[in-house]
Structure 1
Amino acid sequence: MQKSQEDNIWDHLPEQNIALGACEESSTEGYDKEGDPPQEDLFNAANADVNFRQLSWQGAAVLIAKLQIGLGALSLPSTFHSLGFFPGILCFLVLSLMTTIAGYVSGNARQYYPQMHSIGDASEIILGKKGREIIGWIYYIYLTLVAGAGLLTTSVALNAISDHGTCTTIFVGITAAATLFFGTVFRSLDKVSWLAWVGVASIFLAIWITAIACLTQHTPAAARSSGGGPINLNIHAFPSADFSTAMSAISSQLFAVGASGTFFSISAEMKQPHLFTRSLLLGQSFIVLTCITIASIIYGKVGQYLSNPALGSAGPLIKKVAYGIALPGLFITAILWSHVAAKYWFVRTLRGTHHLQSNTARHWVTWVGSMTVTVVIGFIIVEVINFFNDFLSLVGALINPIFTAIFPGIMILFFLATKPSLYNQTGPNDGRTYTIRHWLPLAFKTFKDGTREKVAVFIACLMILVGVFITIGGTYATILNIKTSYSEGVSAVFSCADNS
């Protein structure tokens, strides 16, 4: 896709100073009482056919929840079996805290850069044009992979409901076609947020039905169907897995709360971006509490007999009921992630032109083309790697750490380095490009400025190190698991086999 000649985030930057840790109440500068965007904003409502800035803070909260609940939550119980019950919970809490910090930094950064729409724009500000291209492409691939995971999980649901009524590839294709249609119809996130309410409710109800059914069963369903031998739940309070299994589980956990890279786009379409922190805390708290509660119940009652995804852990009948209820939510997951991915290229292509918010032929061709390319790529990828657990682990290990740990850590250092005092009270937002060689040494010099700066530098460095560790260790482990899956004949490309 071609970029417009005006596709340069620095050309539109406001002359504002950055201050790390600005509070929610004081961050409304530049917005009027009605939440109208400032003149420099990417999405200007004046004389626009499409107003992209209509998303309420409640809608943003449910989008934050929906971007994460559904895929990762269904794989979480199996990670407890790999990591051990108590270490599994502790690990998930640590990862949740880290991704919440990442989400706070990502979602609130746009208040100081109203032209920012995605992590690609943030990468240009911090790392320059080359950084933008590298991070931007990785970001798009990540979004497309998760959209593909949504297609895959929806095909699992259709197979479960229909008793494998047709070839799995056909189910994935039907889901992809429906995703393309509905994803194209809704161009703004405020419209998609209404779908997200339905998606969150359906998956929340489905996983609770599964959990309650597991609680009421004296014997796990998988144990009853295994031939009547001795039952051993084999619940681990502490880990007994090898390194590769443990890292694969950690990668899956990160996937469950790893959508913070998309929070730039959510903030960009909010009526009142200064309320993003409120949305983040509400959406993230809901996800963390739900995931821990459900995973603990299912693993505690089923143990090693759980299935992955977890909706099949209570037996064939409950499996059909749960997947039937969850089906809209799983389908909406594919729509939402495809929408965000397509919007990335849509904005990059039309930024700075009147086509961005006008119902012109170029506007529609760009939007439909972006959605089509995204869904087709997602379909192809998911048909090549079409086994649920390893797919989530691969995304969680190879790409998620970049957006949930490494780059947010770099952003914190950048914000520290660009405190006005270090630039004679002007800050770096004057249109000039500051390379990492200029601002990185300044970031570490702020360590002497006070306790808050010390804590911020420590957190930033810790996030970067954790992200690098998960990327290397998790990717290595997941590749080994995928290799084993293929050697055992678990799956094949474009397979018709039942994946439920």
Structure 2
Amino acid sequence: MHDQTDKPSATSKTEDVFVEVETHQIHYKTLSWQLLAFLMIAEIVSNGMLSLPSTLAIVGIVPAVIVQTFLGIFALYTAKLLIDFKLNHPEVHNMGDAGLIIFGPLGREVLSLGTVVFAVFAAGSELLSGQQALSTLSDKGLCSVYFVLIMAAVSFVVALPRTLDGLSWLGMLSAILIALTGVLAMIGAGLNPVEGRVINVTISASFYEAFLAITNPVFSYAGTHRFFILISEMKEPRDAMKAAWCLQTFATIFYVVFSVVLYVYIGNTVQSPALFSLPPIWAKVTFGVALGNFIFSAAICSHTAAKLVFIRLFRHSHHLYSHTLLGWGVWTLLCLAAIVAAFILAVAVPVFSYLIGIAASLFAAWYTYGIAGAFWLHDTYHIEGGFAALRRRPLGTALASSTVLAGAFICVAGTYVSIKTRTGPRAACGITPS
């Protein structure tokens, strides 16, 4: 939509969130679309991938593949809506800024809080995946809490660079590592097929069982809501759609191939995460390779949570662009606060694995899917001519409205399923996240 008009929205300021001046000591707008694609792959195609094969054990191969493919296309569509909104409103740095434009001051606070909370929860989930990796590699040589602490300490250090450019090459390495993890897992499963395994093309399931199964692929695509934060640091924001195409094409194909191959060789006994279903030596190899991705993903989630608050405090201030004691002090404390919050949630909240599902339902359902439709409807109405513009574009209006409704459905149904699956608390020093 951004290329159809040059008229700004009445509610939009045209100044970019980052002002590039040659004398600035810190420059933010440095990311290429290729590095953005690696950052997004590293963050989204992470531990969520490892739960996908278990989905096939509940609904069968065909329904799972259809759902994963549809969600990949849907996520690409909503990514386009988010990118167009960002290009129409260059001052938008995060969901909170977008909420201010659409819903006013209250919307800004709600969406900002939701973004931070979801990022911290996602970081906690990555810490737990790292704990599983370290426990597997050491044959449970330490209490799980210590492994989470080690993960948190390393992730904090990785999150510290002030700009995403400082993380981009690590993002490329992280994306390679998670892809290699998937390839090695498929090789390990293929060389060690489970004898007498049961494989189903389709399985009859209740609504509850079916939706519980598809929550894994639904939330495996979650993360595009951080596009605003990432695109804000691009040299050419108009190239962001190229990164989105790379992300969703790779994620969709990789998810389908990975989940089908592991399910075919392991069958209905496949665990979540799937690496636990491999022979011990292959589990150690794959977890060892994936460990770097878990660390980076926890770091990037903490970084983006801290960045939202930091920009809120110092937008257009010299502390944003200079190496000042206050700027670095606040930035370090924000990164530390994010990772400490993730650590506390992971080790001190007995039902954290269930809270992750609830948080994903409440926030990711809207941020990745539903609210993108509201962005399109807002800009079409305000930029292109009110209700007449909406009537002139019936297909776009129908799709955007359906996206809002889909986000609402995923939010309500996902929250219900997540609450219903709650069982007993985890034992101390024996964390077993989903």
TM-score w.r.t. the length of structure 2 is: 0.93
Alignment gaps of 5+ in structure 2 = none
Structure-to-structure mapping, 1:448-463, within 5 angstroms:
448-449=391-392, 453-463=393-403
What is the identity, as a one-letter code, of the residue corresponding to 2:330?
A: T
The structure having more radius of gyration, on CA atoms, is 1
For this pair of structures, how many residues does the alignment match?
Answer: 428
Q: Which residue of 2 aligns with 1:324?
A: 288
Q: How does 1:235-274 map to 2 (within 5 A)?
A: 235-274=199-238
Residues in 2 aligned to 1:148 and 1:498: alpha-carbon distance in whole angstroms? 12
Once the two structures are superposed, residues 438-479 of structure 1 have per-residue CA deviations (whole angstroms, 9 ceiling, x without a partner) of: xxxx3xx43431xxx111111111111111111111111111
Query: What does residue 56 of structure 2 align with?
Result: 80
Amino acid across the alignment from 1:206: T
Equivalent residue runs for 1:40-439 within 5 Å:
40-46=15-21, 47-184=23-160, 186-219=161-194, 231-233=196-198, 235-384=199-348, 390=354, 393-422=357-386
- After TM superposition, where is structure 1 displaced by more than 4 Å over at least 4 residues in a row? 384-392
Q: Is the 8 A contact 1:312 1:318 kept in 2?
A: no
Residue identity opposite 2:222 in structure 1? G
Per-residue deviation, residues 255-290 of structure 1 (Å, max 9, x unmatched): 111111100011100001111111110122111111
- The 8 Å contact of residues 152 and 388 in structure 1, kept in 2 or not, is answered as no
8 A Cα contact 1:124 1:131, kept in partner: yes
% of aligned pairs identical?
Answer: 28
Q: Contact 2:377–2:400 at 8 Å: present in 1 too?
A: yes
The 1:393/1:246 distance shift into structure 2, 3 A limit, reads farther
Choose between structure 1 and 2: higher helix proportion. Answer: 2
- Structure 1: 5+ residue runs without aligned partners? 1-19, 31-37, 221-230, 423-441
Q: Distance in 1 between matches of 2:246 and 2:419?
A: 35
Any idea what SS the aligned residue of 1:110 has? helix
Contact conserved, 1:108 with 1:273, CA < 8 A, in 2?
A: no
| Contact 1:143/1:341, CA 8 A, preserved across alignment | yes
d(CA) in 1 for partners of 2:173 and 2:288?
Answer: 14
Q: Is the 8 A contact 2:231 2:240 kept in 1?
A: yes
In the alignment, the residues of structure 2 paired with residue 174 and residue 467 of structure 1 have an alpha-carbon distance, to the nearest angstrom, of 36
Structure 2 match to 1:223: none
The one-character-per-residue Cα deviations of 1:361-409 (angstroms, maximum 9, x if unpaired) are: 2211221111111111111222245689756533432321110122111
CA contact (8 A) 2:40 2:247 kept: yes
1:480 matches 2:420: yes
Query: C-alpha separation between the residues in 2 aligned to 1:330 and 1:102?
Result: 26
- Report deviation, 1:92: 1.5
Structure 1: how far apart are the matches of 2:431 and 2:116? 29
Matched, 1:496 2:429: yes
In structure 2, how many angstroms separate the alpha carbons of the residues matched to 1:260 and 1:302?
Answer: 31
2:410 maps to: 470
2:389 maps to what in 1?
446
Aligned-CA RMSD value: 2.3
For residues 218-237 of structure 1, what are the alpha-carbon distances to aligned partners after superposition, in whole Å with 9 as ceiling and x for unaligned? 435xxxxxxxxxx342x332
| Alpha-carbon shift at residue 138 of structure 1 (Å) | 0.9
Kindly tell me: are residues 218 and 173 of structure 1, through their superposed partners in 2, closer, same or farther at Cα, counting changes over 3 Å? closer
TM-score, normalised relative to structure 1 = 0.81
Give the structure 2 partner of residue 428 of structure 1.
none
3-state DSSP class of the match of 1:171?
helix
Q: Deviations over 1:271-313 (max 9, x none)?
A: 0111111111012211111111111100111111212111222
